[in-house]
Amino acid sequence: MSHSPSLGRRAFLARLGLLGAAVGAGGLLPRGALAPAAAAPDPLAGVVGLLRPVLAELARDTLNGLSVFATPGPDRYSAAQGTPSDTPGALEAGTTDFLIQALDNFVPFPDQLAKPIGAALATGLADTGIDLPGLDLLPGELGTLDRALRALLENDATIPLSLPAAGLLNLLGTQVNPAAVNGPLLSPFSRLSYAEKARAFALLEGPDSDLVALLDVHFPQPLKESVSGLLKFVAGALIEFATFGSYTEFAVFDPRSKQLTARPVGWRLTGYQPHGPVEGWDEFIGYYQGRREVHD
C-alpha cells in the first residue's frame, strides 16, 4: 500500500520520538509554535531555536533508558523496563550525564552519516494501526517541524553524537515494538521492556542485520560498506559507555579539588574500598620487604 509523503514523514518523526516529545501529550513545544509566521524574515529560525532544547531533552530521556538497561536502579525508567531494583543504579551514578559528555566530546557525528541514516530508516507505521502522536497537527505545521529538523541536521557542522545515537535507538525501538511511539516517558526506547531493548540492540549488532544492509545502500562512496562497522561499533560503545559510566567516580568527583564529594555508586555496588580511599599501603613504604637491590 502506498502512503502520502505527509503520512510517511509523520510516521518517521513519531518513530524518532520527536513528534511525541514536541507536540504529543505533554509535548515540550508551546501550542501554536509550528503555525506559519509568514511575516517573519525567517519563519523557520524561531522553530529551529525552540526545537534544540526539545531534541536535547529527548536525547537525555532516551539515554536514561539506555543507562538503566546497563545498570537498573530504583527509578521510573528501570520500572518501565520491568527491572526495578532496591540498590542505586545508573541514574544515581550520573550515567546519563557521563554518556552525553562522552558521546558529544568523543566523536563528533558528521551530517554525511546522519542524513542517510534518517533516510534509510524512514519507514512508516501506517499499516500497524498504531495511533501516532500529534494527529491534530495541520499539514503545514507538520511540514514546519520536519523542515526544522532537516535544518538542524543538514548543515556544514558536526552534530553531537548523543542526538543521532538517541534517534537511532528510538527508531530501532519502534521497529521492535511499534506501540512504543505512545506511552509514559518521553522517548520510545525508554518505553520498551528490558527484553525489547535487547532485541533492538540485536538488530544493530547482528552479523546479517537487514538494517545494516539497508543503511549501506544509502551511503555514497567512500562511506558505503563502512557503515555496518561504524554502527556495530556504536552499538557496542553505547553499552560499554553506559556500563562504565555507572561504575566510575564521575558523578562525585570534584575536578578542582581532585577529591570525591561522596561515596560513588559503583563502590557501593561492588563493595570496593569499604572504609574509604587510602593514601597507600604499608607494604610499599620505603623498599619492599627491606630490599635495596635486585639481581637477575
Predicted confidence at residue 224, as pLDDT, reads 53
Counting the structural domains of the chain, the total is 1
Mean model confidence pLDDT for the chain: 78
Residue 1 is predicted with a pLDDT of 41
DSSP H/E element including 109: strand 109-110
CA distances 81 to 72, 153, 236, 266, Å, are 9, 30, 20, 21
In a domain? residue 181: yes
In terms of residue numbers, what domain contains 136?
5-272
Residue 282 lies in a domain: no
Q: Which residue has the higher pLDDT, 282 or 55?
A: 55
Q: What share of the chain is helix, strand, coil (3-state, %, to 5)?
A: 55, 5, 40
Between 164 and 206, name the one with better pLDDT: 164
| 159 falls within a domain | yes
In a domain, residue 285? The reply is no
Place of cell 515540550: 28
pTM for the full predicted model = 0.80
Is there a domain that residue 279 lies in? no
| Nearest Cα residue to 102 out of 249, 260, 242 | 242
**CA distance linking residue 67 with residue 91, whole number of Å:** 7
Would you say residue 195 lies in a domain? yes
Confidence of residue 17 (pLDDT cuts 50, 70, 90): confident
Decide if 109 is inside a domain: yes
pLDDT digits (tens, 9 = 90+) for 176-189: 999 999 998 999 99
Does residue 295 form part of some domain?
A: no
How do residues 34-92 score in pLDDT, each as one tens digit? 776 555 566 677 787 888 889 889 999 999 999 999 999 999 999 999 999 999 999 99
